[in-house]
Amino acid sequence: MTKTPAPAVELRGLAKHYGDVVALTDVDLSIAAGEYFVLLGPSGGGKTTLLRTIGGFHRPTKGEVLLHGQEVGHLPPDKRPTTMVFQAYALFPHMSVTQNVGYGLKVAGMDKAQAAEKTAAALEMVGLDTFADRRPHELSGGQQQRVQLARAFVLDRDILLLDEPLAALDAQLRKDMCLELKHLQEKVGITFIHVTHNQEEAMTVADRIALIANGRLVEHGAARDIYRAPQKAFTASFVGENNLLSGRVTETAGQTARIDVGGTALRVDRRGQQVQTGQDVTLSIRSESVALDTAPDTEEDGTSLVGSYNEAVYLGLTTSHLVHLPDGTEMVSRVIADQDDMMPAAGAPVRLSWQPDAIRLHVE
Task: List residues near other proteins by CB under 8 A.
Answer: 55-57, 76-79, 83-84, 86, 88, 90-94, 103-104, 107-108, 137, 151, 155
Provide the greatest CA pair distance for the chain: 80
DSSP string covering 276-332: -TT-EEEEEEEGGG-EEES-TTSPP-SSEEEEEEEEEEE-SSEEEEEEE-TTS-EEE
Return the number of other C-beta atoms located less than 10 Å from residue 306's C-beta: 19
DSSP letter, residue 135: -
Cβ 245 vs Cβ 282: under 8 Å: yes
How far apart are alpha carbons 238 and 236 in whole angstroms? 6
Nearer of residues 159 and 245 to other proteins, judged by Cβ: 159
Nearer of residues 106 and 271 to other proteins, judged by Cβ: 106
Residue 183's SS3 state is helix
Nearer of residues 160 and 249 to other proteins, judged by Cβ: 160
Cβ 56 to other proteins, closest distance in Å? Answer: 8
Nearer of residues 57 and 180 to other proteins, judged by Cβ: 57
Cβ 39 vs Cβ 50: under 8 Å: yes
Cβ 93 to other proteins, closest distance in Å? Answer: 5
Cβ 295 to other proteins, closest distance in Å? Answer: 60
Query: What percent helix, strand, coil does the chain show, rounded to 5?
Result: 30, 35, 35
Nearer of residues 3 and 94 to other proteins, judged by Cβ: 94
Nearer of residues 78 and 186 to other proteins, judged by Cβ: 78
Cβ 196 to other proteins, closest distance in Å? Answer: 18
Nearer of residues 78 and 357 to other proteins, judged by Cβ: 78
Cβ 135 to other proteins, closest distance in Å? Answer: 10
Cβ 174 vs Cβ 166: under 8 Å: yes
Beta carbons within 8 Å of 305's beta carbon, 6+ residues apart: 245, 261, 262, 264, 266, 325, 331, 351, 352, 353
Cβ 79 to other proteins, closest distance in Å? Answer: 7
- Inter-CA distances, 183 with 129, 243, 245, 323, Å: 18, 34, 39, 41
Cβ 111 to other proteins, closest distance in Å? Answer: 17
Cβ 71 vs Cβ 85: under 8 Å: no
- Helix (H), strand (E) at residue 141: helix 141-153
Cβ 353 to other proteins, closest distance in Å? Answer: 52
Cβ 137 to other proteins, closest distance in Å? Answer: 4
How far apart are alpha carbons 281 and 273 in whole angstroms? 11
Nearer of residues 84 and 325 to other proteins, judged by Cβ: 84
Nearer of residues 17 and 258 to other proteins, judged by Cβ: 17
Nearer of residues 108 and 121 to other proteins, judged by Cβ: 108
Residue 110's SS3 state is coil
Beta carbons within 8 Å of 132's beta carbon, 6+ residues apart: 96, 97, 98, 120, 123
Cβ 103 to other proteins, closest distance in Å? Answer: 6
Q: What angle do CA 13, 19, 23 make, to 5 degrees?
A: 45
